[in-house]
């Protein structure tokens, strides 16, 4: 992702912070909180967890921070400001997840929820190798991504230009495996976004060491 793409994405998420929050209806919550709970259920208390593309920290970072030492990373200053206020016990870095400096081999678990749709597909191999390096041996990652085959380009999303890319899930799974991660599960679940159903793949992968 070129610097300019990063600027467009950061500015977009700054501008749509309220609209993004409003996409999830209280009566029909997205599956992310239950997915995060299941993913983290057997993590020992005090594990080190990284939330990449953490957004405003609600609900995933907040849930993880109840029991763990959590770090959140996001490219949008507005999202990070909200996350700091919503989850005061976690630490946050505002930066581009592709090249931000993070401790290697330090994390028991990583979550990246609805993030990689904002990356060009070409970035995935290097990003997944990076995730593997950040994980401890036997550490695991939870990813969600919308299945599809849409090209990397700007679309108008919530009224702002936003870079979005989708990939067939079998190709995504292959890229994770090519990066040395072992895919433990891959499930599809639909959620309502502003009343519209959108399906996501939910993938758990492990670092065999
Ligand atoms: C769809 S939101 C998901 C937010 C949160 N994970 C959630 O569950 O709602 C995608 C988030 O990824 C962030 N993001 C997109 N590209 C990024 C990048 N290159 N580096 C860091 N964060 C990025 C955006 O700013 C945004 O907050």
- pLDDT tens for 7-63 read 999 999 999 999 999 999 888 999 999 999 999 999 999 999 999 999 999 999 999
What confidence score (pLDDT) does residue 109 get? 98
Instruction: Please state the pTM of the whole predicted model.
Output: 0.97
Lowest mean pLDDT across 15-19, 85-89, 150-154, 163-167: 150-154
Q: How far is CA 8 from CA 13, 52, 55, 92, 154, in A?
A: 9, 18, 16, 21, 9
Handedness of CA 138, 142, 147, 153 (dihedral sign): negative
How large is the average pLDDT for residues 147-157?
A: 93
User: What ranges do the domains of the chain cover?
Assistant: 3-206
Q: According to the model, what pLDDT value does residue 3 have?
A: 56
Q: Which CATH number fits domain 3-206: 3.40.50.620, 3.40.640.10, 3.30.450.40, 3.40.50.150?
A: 3.40.50.150
pLDDT in tens, 79-111: 999 999 999 999 999 999 988 999 999 999 999
- Best residue among 31, 79, 115 to mutate for probing ligand 1's pocket (most ligand atoms within 8 Å of CB) is 115
Ligand 1 contact via 54 beta carbon (within 6 Å): yes
Please report how the helices 169-178 and 124-134 are oriented relative to each other, as an axis angle in degrees rounded to 10. 50
The CA 76 to ligand 1 mean position distance, Å, reads 8
| pLDDT mean across residues, the chain | 96
């Amino acid at each position: 992702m070129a610097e300019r793409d990063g600027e467009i994405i950061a500015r977009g998420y700054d501008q749509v912070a309220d609209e993004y929050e409003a996409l999830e209806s209280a009566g029909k919550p997205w599956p992310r909180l239950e997915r995060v709970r299941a993913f983290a259920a057997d993590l020992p208390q005090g594990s080190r967890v990284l939330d990449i593309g953490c957004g405003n920290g609600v609900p995933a970072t907040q849930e993880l921070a109840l029991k763990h030492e959590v770090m959140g990373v996001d490219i949008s200053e507005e999202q990070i400001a909200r996350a700091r206020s919503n989850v005061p016990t976690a630490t946050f870095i505002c930066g581009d997840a592709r090249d931000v400096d993070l401790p290697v081999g330090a994390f028991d678990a990583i979550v990246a929820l609805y993030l990689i749709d904002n990356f060009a597909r070409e970035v995935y191999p290097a990003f997944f190798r990076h995730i593997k390096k950040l994980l401890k041996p036997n550490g695991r990652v939870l990813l969600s991504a919308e299945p599809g085959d849409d090209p990397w380009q700007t679309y108008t999303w919530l009224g702002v230009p936003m870079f979005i890319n989708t990939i067939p899930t079998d190709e995504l799974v292959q890229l994770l495996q090519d990066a040395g991660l072992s895919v433990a599960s891959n499930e599809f679940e639909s959620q309502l976004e502003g009343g519209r159903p959108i399906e996501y793949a939910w993938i758990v992968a492990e670092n065999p060491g």
